[in-house]
Amino acid sequence: MSEKFYPIGRRSFVMGAAAAMAASAMPAAMAAEQPAPSNLEKYAAPKNPALPKSTMKLDLSRTALVVIDPQIDFMSPKGKAWPMTGESVTEQNLVPNLLRLFKAAKAANITVAISPHWYWGTDHHWKIQAPVEAMQHDMHLFDDRKNELDVEKFAGSGSDFMPEFKPYIMDDKTFICSPHKLYGPQVNDLNLQLRKQLVDQVILTGMLANLCVESHMRELLEQGFEVAVVRDAVAGPKLPEGDGYLAAIINYRFMANAVWTTDEVLAMLGKT
């Protein structure tokens, strides 16, 4: 890839990936049992907010947990994007928090939907690309399938779901939507699947905080859904261009119907 699009040098990228993998060597089970502190001070809510408090209250009969891009390339030290995402994933305790939310959502019997990010071979020939698109294609994120029907190399690849989540995603009850290609759900069937379940309240989680999550939030709001973003169940990239999580959390406060923590959502779902 040309330096025009690549935010970090190739040597630094590889070395950063190795360092991130070593730093994150905590057993998943231990992390899930003992959630690490999150919500660093720079991301904390303002002490004297000017905006009114949220009035959103969940009605579980019309609520869905929506998880965006719960895939290895974004959330695992083995993933291609880990040098960009690993710090935020670790800070927010993302994977253990999502695991807790999956378990609670299933126990509460609410709708669960996945909005994944997959590329097919033809997607790499787009004639118009913005910087993040070009970077993702150059890094070969989520491109382990030649087309919609090809799953030969899918299992365990960067495109695959995180193994911790698979029991909850592959249970024949979770809605695995068609892929979004850029950031928002305008071109996949998430909206349709939610409406078919009479859902109009969304608990929004996943990655990337300032790109796909924020784009999903904006579109769902425009479509008339109430949207609560779980602030420690999202994570973003960190690049010289900026901190994606910080950019996102500001907009969540301005636009989302609510910004909650995982613990707050668990209490609402009946799991403390």
**Residues 6 or more apart whose Cβ sits within 8 Å of residue 175:** 111, 112, 113, 114, 193, 197
Q: Name beta bridge partners: 161.
A: 71
Nearest-angstrom CA–CA distance, 161 and 239: 24
Candidates 243, 101, 90; CA nearest to 164 is: 101
Structure tokens at 98: 């999502």
CB atoms within 10 A of CB 61: 12
Looking at this protein, which amino acid is placed at residue 77? P
Residue 42 within any structural domain of the chain: no
Residue 24 within any structural domain of the chain: no
What pLDDT was estimated at residue 53?
94
Residue 36 within any structural domain of the chain: no
Determine the distance from the C-alpha atom of residue 268 to the mean position of all C-alpha atoms in its chain, rounded to a whole number: 21
Its domain, for residue 197, covers 60-268
What pLDDT was estimated at residue 140?
67
Q: Which single residue is written with the structure tokens 């290609």?
A: 181
Gap between the terminal Cα atoms of the chain: 47
Total domains in the fold of the chain: 1
Residue 151 within any structural domain of the chain: yes
Residue 255 belongs to a domain with what CATH number?
3.40.50.850
What pLDDT was estimated at residue 137?
66
Q: Name beta bridge partners: 169.
A: none
Nearest-angstrom CA–CA distance, 204 and 131: 25
- Segments in the chain below pLDDT 70: 1-39, 120-121, 134, 137, 140, 142-152, 271-272
Nearest-angstrom CA–CA distance, 224 and 230: 19
Residue 174 within any structural domain of the chain: yes
Burial profile 70-109: b = 16 or more Cβ within 10 angstroms, e = fewer: bbbbbbbbebbbbbbbbbbbbbbbbbbbbbbbbbbbbebe
Residue 6 within any structural domain of the chain: no
The whole-model pTM stands at: 0.80
The per-residue pLDDT for range 41-85, each reduced to its tens digit, is 899 999 999 999 999 999 999 999 999 999 999 899 999 989 999
Q: Which single residue is written with the structure tokens 């779901």?
A: 161
**Residues 6 or more apart whose Cβ sits within 8 Å of residue 240:** 7, 8
Residue 108 within any structural domain of the chain: yes
Q: How far is CA 134 from CA 62, 80, 130, 140, 218, in A?
A: 38, 14, 6, 10, 23
Residue 240 within any structural domain of the chain: yes
What pLDDT was estimated at residue 157?
78
Looking at this protein, which amino acid is placed at residue 100? R
Structure tokens at 87: 């710090």
DSSP 173-204: SSEEPPPPSSSSGGGSSHHHHHHHTT--EEEE
